[in-house]
């Protein structure tokens, strides 16, 4: 779809110690993302705006008892939830645990756990 629309998308991929000179623009590669990262990210992206919207709606309804204010608070809560998600994405954009890794048969991928207490 990116070729049809004329827009190019880039994804940062951890090479895990591989030589970056071995890869060039246009090469076909396989990347992997841990399932728990995808599941947790999906839940955060969908639930945070909904929870903030519901909380703002309940708060406005209890405080003002006005339908228009309650509706506007719901919209504001949804918008605020989206802002929280953008802030969280910006804050964690360089976290190596959340980055896709290169998967291939030529070299073994070594995944290192950071900050694990033993």
What's the farthest any 2 CA atoms get from each other in the chain?
A: 65
Least confident of 15-19, 36-40, 52-56: 15-19
Q: Where are the domains of the chain?
A: 1-33+100-118, 34-94
Query: Over 80: is that where the pLDDT of 105 sits?
Result: no
Binning pLDDT at 50, 70 and 90, where does residue 3 land?
Answer: low
Helix, strand, coil % over all residues of the chain, rounded to 5: 55, 5, 40
Give the pLDDT confidence score for residue 23 in this predicted structure: 83
Residues comprising the chain, all counted: 118
Q: What is the CB neighbour count within 10 angstroms for residue 62? A: 9
Least confident of 3-12, 15-24, 55-64: 3-12
Give the pLDDT confidence score for residue 118 in this predicted structure: 46
Query: Over 80: is that where the pLDDT of 90 sits?
Result: yes
Give the pLDDT confidence score for residue 54 in this predicted structure: 97
Asked if residues 12 and 92 have their Cβ atoms less than 8 Å apart, the reply is: no
């Amino acid at each position: 779809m990116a070729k049809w629309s004329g827009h190019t998308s880039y994804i940062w991929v951890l090479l895990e110690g591989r030589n970056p000179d071995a890869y060039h623009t246009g090469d076909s590669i396989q990347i992997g993302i841990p399932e728990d990262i995808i599941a947790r990210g999906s839940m955060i992206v969908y639930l945070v705006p909904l929870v903030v919207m519901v909380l703002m709606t309940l708060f406005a309804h209890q405080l003002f008892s006005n339908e228009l204010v309650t509706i506007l608070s719901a919209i504001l809560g949804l918008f605020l939830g989206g802002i929280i998600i953008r802030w969280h994405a910006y804050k964690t954009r360089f976290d190596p645990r959340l980055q896709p890794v290169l998967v291939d048969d030529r070299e073994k991928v070594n995944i290192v756990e950071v900050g694990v207490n033993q």
